[in-house]
Chain A
């Protein structure tokens, strides 16, 4: 069974808490706050003002430039404010606040559940629709999908990879999507194949989800040759774009600024493929997503189809409330998720799950000295030397870090997970990466 060649760890997947729970619709919130920066790139520009009436699916913020994404109203009602509100990190960000009145959808959106398989649009028309719908990578990185699909001149895609790996422990939103919305996923995949003009697609699924593999294979049928469902050996961080490409095609994406397209691959998340289906075939913009609310102590774990802007606290309330005692709420899974200091934070495009872990689980061990055992080097899926990078970050040796390819770091956390000395490697490495990327950006601006 295939997997990526170097590094990786194998944390216990803990998916049992929520994997059997069918996707449920979350009640519509009375008030939503929608951040203008929900994606990588420039924040969108608000095109509504206080007092405006909006319908569900109406565009409320427009992409600023190419590397940005549109944002649509997730509920119908009145815009009550366009101002600075605290985000998940507690920092103030521009957000649009909408007060709900009914649930009235904008015109032209097909809300029926019929499966529309035929798609006669050209590649550029598909990409235009995806761009209009404001679709971004829903695996967590929130890279605008239309940017990914717009293949630069002189390069061509050879393979489309649908990322159904979901290697992050606890999370099951992609898994449930694959099981319950498999038909849409397959149609979405074919649309994406058309958009990047390839005749081969691979749906990568880790082998801890055998029923998803079986289900998708059954839906595809035996005669389908264009799409292959490929079970992969369970290994974190297989869901990383570069790791998945390596696992499926055995090709290594060179260090940044090279992109997956340089090895002829385009990778899209499984939930993104479903969103693409809805955008292209049903004209439905991205206004909701499946969010897993899970954790050992959560009374009633759920996979909730949630409109964006719903406060995280409402989701937790729906799942039986915050467990008693010392708990930590993570936006995402335990490996890459960020702890939240503010539970009124809205659900955003990249939020695939809310994980609640106990304070004891989150407790870090007392760090001791590095003995250069090189476990982190072995675990790093990007082939970096985390112990060295962390040391250089502590000494503020940014130039040396740049030479050691810090920008290749995917912040997966394998190094910190594996360190027997409990050294907070990722903390330092991430700081170094941010600083070095800032230095590089400043240098490019000068040019």
Chain B
């Protein structure tokens, strides 16, 4: 041991006496000092990190990797890691769900964690307003900041309907998946069902509460009341030709009890609806909208029933 120290001291002596070192002594001193500081700091850091080490479940990292990483917050947790923590920590994960990853993702995670997979039917955001520029004439001009939240805090909107889509695109801004856009010809928000992950960001961004998460049918088929106006029939009719006037015809024709009428407005419960299309034919204003289905009511029921499975 002594030998080592002797040798080291001799080496330093030689080094200091070296011609080159003398020539560049300020530089060499700096380099040496920095090296010493670095080594000391590294040692402190190492011991501190050992002392205050946080034990984290390694599964959290794995689960986070399995999640889509969109960090949309649609699950109610602050980003994917938040959900990953909850998934690992909670024994019963039936209330947790990542709508972006969908059933496959949740199944894989549940398998990895050895827990029962949460089951949720796939959903899609639906814009419930059919008041296009033709059907709902503009009666005033809004010159303020183009934001739905601001416009709706100022007044009813450019048309006479106080409930309809304003079309300034707060939902477009809220969407992290580029799945909702304002159609320039209709002035309404439209959802691209293939891109929509049902995270619900647009639902909370819409100040009028027009957007709803509804059950997603195969091939993006859908039947819904495309109106949220709670005004009385004549008032709605005057403001918009495509509004629900609360006549109740659809309620009578529905065999599955899926339609309810409240505050002059019909509502189709997407979990009860079987896409039989009877209400669509009955609606006098065309407020009940149908997507991906043939317009005429079908005679054979089995076909629709197989689709529900």
Contacts and interface: CB of A to CB of B under 8 A. Distances in A.
Interface string A337-350: 01101000000000
A405 to B, nearest CB: 20
A341 B156 contact: yes
Contacts of A48: none
Interface stretch (B71-79, B142-150, B213-221, B243-251): B142-150
A306 to B, nearest CB: 23
B282 interface: no
A90 B145 contact: no
Given A341-B155, A362-B143, A364-B143, A91 B149 contact: no
Interface residues of A, number: 18
B153 A424 contact: no
Given A90-B160, A90-B162, A434 B143 contact: no
A362 B143 CA distance: 9
Contacts of A92: 162, 231
Contacts, number: 43
Interface in A322-352: 338-339, 341
A89 interface: yes
Interface residues of B, number: 16
B25 interface: no
Contacts of A242: none
A212 B97 CA distance: 69
Nearest to B205: A396
A431 B162 contact: no
Interface string B125-153: 00000000000000110011101011001
Main secondary structure of the interface of B (DSSP, over half): loop
Given A424-B144, A427-B144, A434 B153 contact: yes
Contact of B145 (A86, A338, A362, A428): A428
Contacts of A91: 155-156, 162
A276 B156 CA distance: 35
A363 interface: yes
A62 B160 CA distance: 31
A90 B155 contact: yes
Contacts of B149: 431
Interface in A393-447: 424, 427-428, 430-431, 434
B169 to A, nearest CB: 14
Nearest to B139: A341
B209 to A, nearest CB: 14
B132 to A, nearest CB: 20
A431 B231 contact: no
9 contacts: A86-B162, A89-B154, A90-B157, A338-B154, A341-B139, A364-B144, A424-B145, A427-B144, A431-B149
Interface of B: 139-140, 143-145, 147, 149-150, 153-157, 160, 162, 231
